[in-house]
Chain A
């Protein structure tokens, strides 16, 4: 249980274009999903908390107009990097909590496999 998928796993785009990344909870419903950014061999940097049916909560310093998050259903959250630039190149990972009793009792998160974004 508690499987999270991400699509695409890898994307290369030209500077100025927008890229959408999908995060799905496959076998559970996730009211809360998280979006992280990660640099090589570095820790996770929380970008925003995505709440189903409401606006995402962005961390300080993250531009909400650049990183659009939509959590329209209990199994899908999307991150759109708008007008991407080379400095947006990174590994983007989503995670979710499984609300099933005893699964995320202590805020454990289940992660997708990540999306490698390269902006040329």
Chain B
């Protein structure tokens, strides 16, 4: 069974704090994506990382893909209440291609308190 372990599952922090969410696997992914989901809505794609060691920034969010393409992290700087939501990582196995299902992490439920 392919697994994508995501941690922590729950996180409650104060506004202004920094946080990091991790996704780890023993499998190598051709790409890995991060999504954010708000209650009662579908997930929204934040970023896709493809190259080992790749770092992408989206405002206060920094995404990193591990050198071996087995793990990824999401770091949020100076979290704000608007960052509250469920963060999901998802990896695509095998060779790059557009006909593969994604392997999903368990999700990190983040609450940023004002």
A96 to chain B, nearest CB (A): 11
Question: Do A93 and B99 touch (CB < 8 A)?
Answer: no
How many chain A residues touch B (Cβ–Cβ < 8 Å)?
A: 27
> What is the size, in residues, of chain B's interface with A at 8 Å between Cβ atoms?
30
Is B50 in contact with A106, judged by CB distance below 8 angstroms? yes
Number of A-B contacts (CB under 8 A): 69
Question: Which listed residue (A32, A93, A99, A104) contacts B42, Cβ 8 A?
Answer: A93
Which residues of chain B are near A91, meaning CB under 8 Å? Answer: 40
User: Is A63 part of the binding interface, using a Cβ–Cβ cutoff of 8 Å?
Assistant: no
- Nearest residue, chain B, Cβ from A104: B98
| Cβ–Cβ contact B42 & A107, under 8 A | no
10 contacts between A and B (CB under 8 A): A46-B102, A49-B101, A91-B40, A105-B98, A106-B30, A106-B33, A106-B50, A109-B90, A110-B45, A111-B44
